[in-house]
Amino acid sequence: MTTLSVNLNKIAVLRNARGGDEPNLATAAETCMAAGCGGITVHPRPDRRHVTAEDVALLAAITRGRVELNLEGNPFAPPRSGYPGFVELVRQARPAQATLVPDADGQITSDHGFDLIRDLPRLAPLVAELGRLGCRVSLFVDAGSTDGFEQARTLGVARVELYTGPYAHAFAHGDFAAELHRCVETARRAMDAGLDVNAGHDLDQKNLGPFKRAIPGLTEVSIGHALISEALYDGLHPTVRNYLAILA
């Protein structure tokens, strides 16, 4: 079965808009785990706009031995006040998975993946260091990527995460076959190279089913924005259960 990892960034956005501790990140994580999710994902950014380094430490303690913690981030973003750097966060939290994403500081959200042929030489020492920390490494890649999967596997990369934003956009406009095909072909090439395939970005209850059926070997989906938005109407526990039913 494909694992559902719930991204809690938007819970932290709402909390930070008012200050204080509500909505409570720990309570949100406990609710998602009680509903049966297999993982918790967070993407702490250097500007601390949502999840912070302190939140990462809290979630690492809550999830340890229960579900996987997936820590996303740009490994090349330099440390600064309140943000020790991605590799240091991994060293402190020891998540099960580190998903490396090439997002710049000013991006509202992640909107593209790595070019493996161009970026693997720079990524290689970081992949090795994360491996020494006992962390599974996943690389964020665009649908349509065709090269570099074998080299990534040789370096110790275990998974790739397909950027599904274009697929979700096409789905919303009713003509998604071409984008879905790009995802399927990229997943096939990655799996042929020995990599597991994750997916994430703008997946929701409407578009997830066709995506999952097209890629039956999908290992994990990371879903945050849509899931939290839907939970505002239906409740967090039932919404997580709905996603699990789709994946099943």
Judged against a pLDDT cut of 90, whether residue 30 lies above it is answered with: yes
Check 50, 179, 201, 230 and give the catalytic one.
201
**Could you report the per-residue pLDDT of 55-109, keeping only the tens digit for each?**
999 999 999 999 999 999 999 999 999 999 999 999 999 999 999 999 877 766 7
**Average pLDDT score over residue span 107-116:** 81
- Taken in order 69, 73, 76, 80, the sign of the CA dihedral is negative
Q: Is 225 a catalytic residue?
A: no
Task: Report all structural domains of the chain as residue ranges with CATH numbers, in order of start.
Answer: 3-247 (3.20.20.70)
pTM of the model: 0.96
- Taken in order 137, 37, 237, 25, the sign of the CA dihedral is negative
**pLDDT value, residue 216:** 94
Averaged pLDDT of the chain: 96
**pLDDT value, residue 112:** 82
At residue 38, the 3 state secondary structure works out as: coil
178-185: long-range contacts at Cβ-Cβ below 8 A with a sequence spacing of 24 or more?
A: 179/143, 180/210, 180/211, 180/214, 182/143, 182/144, 183/143, 183/211, 183/214, 183/215, 184/214, 184/215, 185/144, 185/146
Check 68, 72, 179, 230 and give the catalytic one.
72
**pLDDT value, residue 109:** 74
pLDDT grade, residue 217 (50/70/90)?
very high
Judged against a pLDDT cut of 80, whether residue 222 lies above it is answered with: yes
Q: Is 181 a catalytic residue?
A: no
Q: Is 43 a catalytic residue?
A: yes
